Structure 1
Amino acid sequence: MKNTIRAQLGQSVNLTPQLLQSIRLLQLTAPQLEMELREALERNPLLEQAEPEPEDEALDASAADEATLEAAAWDELPEPAYLSAGAGLASGDADATARIAAGESSDPRVRLLQQLALKWSEDDLAVASWWLDHSDDRGYLEAPLPELITRGAHALSLDPRELEAVRQRLLHGEWPGMAAATASECLLAQLRAERPGDRRDAEMRTLAECILTCHLDLLATHDYTRLAAVLGSEPSLVESAAALILGLRPSAIEEPREPVDTHIVPDVVVRLLGGAWRVALNGRTAPRLRIAPHCEQALAGGGGDHGVLRGLLDEARWLVRGIAMRNDTLLRTAQVLVERQQGFLERGEEAIAPLTLREVADAIGMHESTVSRITSGKYIQTPRGTFELKRLFAVRLEGAAVSGSAVKAMVKRLIDAEPAHAPLADDVIAGLLARQGVRIARRTVAKYRDQLAIGPARARQRAAATPTYAAAG
C-alpha cells in the first residue's frame, strides 16, 4: 500500500461571530428585536438608548396631522344606520360600540356566576350568589359552616339541606374547592375533580384523600416515614401522594385568562405622499441604541487594564453595526418591493406583478437567502392593509405575463359577479379570461377555485336555488 500526498483546492465559508449575529438579527421579527435590544441595554453598560432624531419628530408630527385629517374625514361620513343598510338598526341599537364584547371581570365571583349562568337555574344561581358573597378572596367561607347554613336558611327561606346541596355543587363544580369550609375540604374537592389514570395512580389518590381527611398534621411536618407507618403503605407511594397534594392550588379562585396578543407590529410603513410612494421604517418597533460617548472616549485613550470593558465595547459595536445593516437591508428590500408592486398598492390584488426573490436580490445586490430572511415575519403597513412582506412576491403564471395571484383574484371577481341563476363553469371563466389576454386551462381555473374554497358551478347553482325553494314552500 502506497501513501500519496495530493493537493486540492476548495472554498469554504467561515462564519465569524459578527456574521452569525448579523444573520440572526435579520431573522428577528419586530417584537423579538425589541426584546433583544432591551436585554442588551440591561446587559451591556456601554450601551444607551438614543433620543429620537429631529426628522423622526417631524415624521411623528406629520403622522399626527394625517390622523387628524382622517378623523375629520370620518366625521363627514353618514350616520351608522346608512352604513349598515338601516334595517338592521331599526330596533334602536344604533351604537356599534354597545355590541363590543366586554372583557372578563376582575371580580372572581362575577366570573364564576357568568359561567354557572349557562347551566344553572335562576333559583340555584341566587343561592350560589349568596354563598359566594359569604366567601373570602381565596374562596373559603368567611364564617363557620353551621352558622352560615342557619343564616342562609333564614335569609333565603330555604331548607338547610337545599342550601347545603347548592354549596356542594359549588364545591365540586366549575372551580373545585369553591365555598369550602376548610383547606382540607378545598384540596379534597380538587383531588376528586381529576380522574385517576392507572392502578398505581388510583392507589396514590386514595392515600392522598386519606392524608387530607385524617393526617393533615403529619403532612405539614413532612414526616413521611411516620405517615407511611400510620397508613401501612410504602414510603415511596406516600411521598408520591404527598407530592400530588402539594401540587394542588391552595385557593379555588381561578385567575382570568390572559388575553392573547394578536396585534401585528409593522416593520415598514408605506404612504402615498405627493403622488409618490414613500417607504420608511417604523421607528416605534424597537429602542434606538448607541454607544455611550463618554465610555468610548475613556477607553480610546489606552492604558490601564480594561480588558473586560474593551470586550463589552466590541460587543456593543457589533450590535449597533448589525442593527444598522439589518435596517438598511430591510428598507432597501421594502423599497424594491413597493416600486415593483405599485399596481397592487393602487389597484388591488388583480394588479400584483410577478416577482421572485432572485429579482429583488439582484436589485439590492444581495443573496436570495438574505432577502428570504429579511422578509420572513416582517410586516408592511399600506393603505390596503398590513400584511407580511412575502405577500408582495408572486409566481409568474406559465406562458403568461401575469402572476398566479392576480389570475386567482380575477377568477374570484368573475365568480362574485356571476348571475345567481346561471353560475359560470370553469371553461367559461377560462374563455372570459382569454378575452382579457390571460390564457389559462380549465383545470387551472378549477385549481384556483378550490384554493378559494369555492364550489363548482353545479354546487353554486344549488346553493343559490335553496332560498328560492324555501320561500316558495
Structure 2
Amino acid sequence: MMGTKQFAHGVDLVTFIFRGSSRRKEQVSTCVSRAPSGPMKHRARSWTSEDPKVYPRATTVQVGEQLMAICPRFEITPRATLRIGPELVQAIGLLSLRNADLAADLAKAARGNPFLRLAGAGADPETLAAMPSGLHAHVLTEIGFLALTPDEWRIAQAFLEALAPSGWLDATIEEVATRAGVPTARTEAVLRRLQQIAPSGLFARSLAECLELQARDRGLLTDEVAAVLRSLGAIADGGISALAEASGLSIKAVDAALAALRTLDPKPGASFAAADQSLLRAPDFVATRIGHGTKQGWLVELNAATLPDIEALGCDDDAPLTLRRAAQEARSLARAVARRNSTLLAVGRALVRRQSAYLKMEVPDPAPLVRAEIAGMAGVHESTVSRVAQAMTMQTPRGVIGLASLFSRPVSGGGCSVSALRARIGSIIAAEPCARPLSDAAIADRLAADGIAVAQRSVARHREHLGIPARAVRRRTGPRRPA
C-alpha cells in the first residue's frame, strides 16, 4: 500500500510504504524538504521491523547529498554530434568504383529514372566493355601519347599489326614499309620511337635487340654487356668460351655480363597474358606534361573517355509524389558523383605532385610515400586515399600504372623506399660474379656503403620477394628467378 500526504513546515512530499501482515508492519518514510530559496536539501529517516522473522535485515532509505530533483524536468543542452548523410554515404561508396564500373551503374540508374541524363564518351558502358585488352591495347594507348603525325600514325599501325604476343616484331622493316607505303628510312625513325614504349624491349627484331633495349633502360648496358650482345650468337656454337673469344672478353667478364642479362625479360610482351586485368583497361586518370622549359607542369584529369557527364533534370512542385522522389534521387546521385570526382582529382593531383620526378622518369623508383601524407595534401581522410589507390589507374609518361604502386613505405635505415631498396638489391646481385655470388651479409655491406643501413635478415627477405634464390643456389644456377 502506498500513499502521499502534505505536511507543514515546508515538507512537500512524504511517501509511506507499508509492508507486512495485520499484526506486524514496517514503515519506512523518507522526507524531502526544500528551503524557501536556493538548492534543495534533504533529510532521511528509516524505521525497521522489530521482529527479525519478518525482515531479518534492516532496511534503510538513503538519499544522495546532491539530489537536485525528484520530479522530471526538461533541459536543452547544445552538443556537437557527427552525422553522415545519405549523399555522403553514397559518395564514399562510389570512391572504390573505377570509371568504367561507375559508368555501368549510372547507365543502369538512368534506365530506371527519367530525370537522370547521361552524355559524353563514357555514357555507353557497352562501348567500354568492347574495348580491346592485352598487349595491343596497352601499346595502342601508349602510341596515343607519342604525338605522331598522320603519316607516322599509319606507320605505327603497320608495326602494331606485326607485333607478336612475345613483344617482338614478326615482320622486317622492309615488309612494314611496304604495308604502310612509305620509304624504309621513315619506317626506321618511327620504330625507334615505338621502342621507347614501356615495358622496354617491345618492337625488338631479335633477342639481342630486345635485351639491349632493356639493358639501356635499366642502366646495365656497359661496354662488356654490349660486346656480349653483339656476339650473342656464338654461345650457341661453342658456349661461353666461344662467346668470350668472339667478344674479345675474358671468361670472368663474360660471366658478369651474362649475369646482368639473366635479370632481363626476353619476352616482355608475354607478361601481359598473366598481368592484372585492371591495368589492361582504360585508365581512370590521365596525367600529361604541359608547358616548356622551367615552366613545365602537370595536367591531371579524369579520363573523359570512361566517365560520362551526368545531369539531373528538374521536376514541378505539383507533380505526383513518385516523380518528385525520382527527381530527388537523380539530384542526390549527381551530387554524389560530383563529390566523388572532386575527391579523386584531389588525391590524383597530390600523388602526381609528390611523385613528379618518378613519373618524369628522372629517377628509377618512386620516393618513399605513405597514404597519410597524401591525405594531408588532399585534405581527405587516410581511408579515402586507400579506397582511391586500391582500384584506380593512371596514364602517365611511364605508361598505365596503378596508384597503389606509387606508395612505398620508407626503409628505416635510409632515405629510400622499399621498392628502390629491392631494385638496388637486384642490381647488386645482377653484377655479382657467377662463380662467387655475394652473401646476404655482403649485400648488406654494399647497401651500407650507399648509405642504406639494412640488416642481413632484411636483405634475405627482400631477395626472396624478388624471387632470387640464396647464395648456394645462385652459385650453381646463377641469379635466375624461379619459374
Cα offset for 1:448?
0.5
CA distance in 2, matches of 1:465, 1:334: 37
TM-aligned CA distance change 1:313 to 1:63, over 3 Å: farther
Q: CA RMSD in A?
A: 3.8
Offset of residue 67 of structure 1:
5.1
Residues 346 and 416 (structure 1), Cα distance of their counterparts in 2 relative to 1, 3 Å cut: farther
Partner of 2:300: 279
CA displacement at 1:405 relative to structure 2: 1.7
Deviation at 1:19, TM superposition (A): 1.7
Output one character per residue of 1:50-103: Cα deviation in whole Å (capped at 9) or x when no partner: 3479xxxxxx9x958825487467732279774433899xxxxxxxxxx99xxx
Q: Deviations over 1:373-432 (max 9, x none)?
A: 222211112232323211111111113222122111111122223222332222222222
Q: Is 2:401 aligned against 1:400?
A: no
Q: Return the letter of the residue paired with 1:272.
A: R
Q: Secondary structure at the match of 1:399?
A: coil
Taking structure 1 as reference, are residues 369 and 64 closer, same or farther at Cα in structure 2, changes over 3 Å only?
closer
Do the aligned partners of residues 2 and 283 (structure 1) sit closer, same or farther apart at CA in structure 2, a change above 3 Å counting? farther
Q: Structure 2: how far apart are the matches of 1:398 and 1:81?
A: 40
1:128 is matched with none
Identity of aligned residues (%): 34
* Residue in structure 2 matched with residue 264 of structure 1 by the alignment: 281
Q: Are residues 1:434 and 2:443 paired? A: no
Residue 85 of structure 1 corresponds to 208
Alignment counterpart, residue 418 of structure 1, candidates 432, 435, 459? 432
Q: TM-score of the superposition, structure 2-length normalised? A: 0.51
Counterpart code for 1:66: A
C-alpha contact 1:421 1:465 (8 A) present in aligned 2:
no
Cα drift, residue 21 of structure 1: 0.8
Relative distance call for 1:420 and 1:272 in structure 2 (3 A) is: farther
Match of 1:358 in 2: 372
1:66 counterpart residue number = 147
CA distance in 2, matches of 1:23, 1:410: 39
Letter in 2 for 1:266: P
Matched residue type, 1:30: N
* 2:100 aligned residue: 31
- The alpha carbon displacement at 1:344 in A equals 2.1
Larger Rg belongs to:
2
Shift of 1:465: 11
Q: Give the drift of 1:347.
A: 3.6
Question: Cα gap change, 1:81/1:377 in structure 2, threshold over 3 Å: closer, same or farther?
Answer: closer
Letter in 2 for 1:18: E
Between the aligned partners of 2:144 and 2:364, the Cα distance in structure 1 is 29
**Residue identity in the other structure for 1:329:** T
Residue 290 in 1 paired to residue 299 in 2?
no
* Residue equivalent to 2:118: 49
Please, which runs of 5 or more residues in structure 1 have no aligned partner?
Answer: 54-59, 89-98, 101-259, 467-473
Offset at residue 24 of structure 1 (A): 0.9
Runs of 4+ in structure 1 displaced over 6 angstroms? 1-11, 78-81
Contact conserved, 2:118 with 2:310, CA < 8 A, in 1? yes
Is the 8 Å Cα contact of residues 38 and 287 (structure 1) preserved in structure 2?
Answer: no
Query: In structure 2, do the counterparts of structure 1 residues 269 and 448 end up closer, same or farther at CA, with 3 Å as the change threshold?
Result: same
**Map 1:6-25 → 2, pairs under 5 A:** 13-25=82-94
Instruction: Report the 3-state secondary structure (helix = DSSP H, G, I; strand = E; otherwise coil) of the residue aligned with 2:208.
Output: coil
Q: Supply the distance in 1 between the matched residues of 2:206 and 2:283 (Cα, whole angstroms).
A: 29
Summarize the alignment of residues 305-344 of structure 1 with structure 2, pairs less than 5 Å apart.
305-344=319-358
Instruction: Encode CA deviations 1:30-66: one digit per residue, 9 max, x unaligned.
Output: 332121111111011011123479xxxxxx9x95882
Aligned to 1:379: 393
Higher strand share: 2
Deviation digits for residues 111-148 of structure 1 (CA, Å, limit 9, x no counterpart):
xxxxxxxxxxxxxxxxxxxxxxxxxxxxxxxxxxxxxx
The correspondence of residues 210-249 of structure 1 with structure 2, limited to 5 A, is none
1:460 to 474, 477, 480: 474
Q: How far apart in 2 are the matches of 1:450 and 1:27?
A: 32
Q: Which amino acid aligns with 1:365?
A: G
Rounded to whole Å, the distance in 2 between the matches of 1:451 and 1:36 is: 38
Greater RCO (Cα-Cα under 8 Å, separation 6 or more): 1
Question: Does the C-alpha gap of structure 1 residues 362 and 2 become closer, same or farther in structure 2, counting only changes over 3 Å?
Answer: farther
Per-residue CA deviations over 1:422-461 (Å, capped at 9, x if unaligned) read 3222222222222222222222111110111111222111
The aligned counterpart of 1:236 is none
Query: Superposed, which structure 2 residues align to 1:97-108 within 5 Å?
Result: none
User: Is the 1:336–1:360 contact (alpha carbons within 8 Å) kept by the matching residues of 2?
Assistant: yes
Q: How many angstroms apart in 2 are the aligned matches of 1:39 and 1:287?
A: 13
Secondary structure at the aligned position of 2:391 is classed as coil
Q: Which amino acid aligns with 1:342?
A: S
Structure 2: gaps (5+ residues): 1-60, 123-140, 160-186, 196-202, 210-231, 234-268, 271-276
For 2:280 and 2:364, locate their aligned partners in 1 and report how far apart those are by CA, in whole Å.
Answer: 27
Amino acid at match of 2:99: A
> What is the identity, as a one-letter code, of the residue corresponding to 1:264?
R
Tell me which moved more, 436-445 or 261-270. Answer: 261-270
Q: 1:10 to 1:414 in 2, by over 3 A?
A: farther
Taking the aligned partners of 1:30 and 1:271, their CA distance within structure 2 comes to: 19
CA 1:416–1:276: 2 relative to 1, 3 Å:
farther
Q: Does 1:370 align with 2:387?
A: no
**8 Å Cα contact 2:429/2:479 also seen in 1:** no
Mapping of residues 65-144 of structure 1, within 5 Å? 66=147, 68=149, 71=153, 75=187, 76=189, 77=191, 82-85=205-208
Aligned twin of 1:150? none
Q: Could you say which structure has the higher helix fraction?
A: 1
Q: Which residue of 2 aligns with 1:199?
A: none
Q: Contact 1:349/1:409 (CA < 8 Å) preserved in 2?
A: no
Question: 2:250 matched to which residue of 1?
Answer: none
Aligned residue pairs: how many? 283
